[in-house]
Amino acid sequence: MMKIFKNFLSKEVDLEGVTDEELKIALDQIGRDLVYNYLLFGQDVTVDMFIENLKRYLYLNSHL
């Protein structure tokens, strides 16, 4: 299943050096945040928004 996500996301996000476990954690966190924004605050969620948030998360996580 993670291979499917990696294939899709690798077109938009640099996943070099990101392990399956790190990607799973990032997807869980970013997905949860976007669902909360949609359900609690009524904000529209787009794929572009998801991709940008994922890029930021992975960038910040790589510099910790």
Q: What are the tens digits of pLDDT across the range 27-64?
A: 999 999 988 888 888 888 888 999 999 999 999 988 88
Asked if residue 46 is part of any domain, the answer here is: yes
Asked if residue 53 is part of any domain, the answer here is: yes
Asked if residue 3 is part of any domain, the answer here is: no
pLDDT at 63: 85
What kind and span of H or E run contains 55? Answer: helix 47-62
The DSSP secondary structure of 17-52, one letter per residue, reads T--HHHHHHHHHHHHHHHHHHHHHH-----HHHHHH
- The tokens describing 31, both together, are 């997905």
Asked if residue 39 is part of any domain, the answer here is: yes
Range of the domain at 53: 17-62
pLDDT at 21 over 90: yes
pLDDT at 54: 94
pTM of the entire predicted model: 0.82
Asked if residue 54 is part of any domain, the answer here is: yes
Nearest one of 15, 9, 2 to 50, comparing CA atoms = 9
pLDDT at 59: 93
Please tell me the total count of domains within the chain.
1
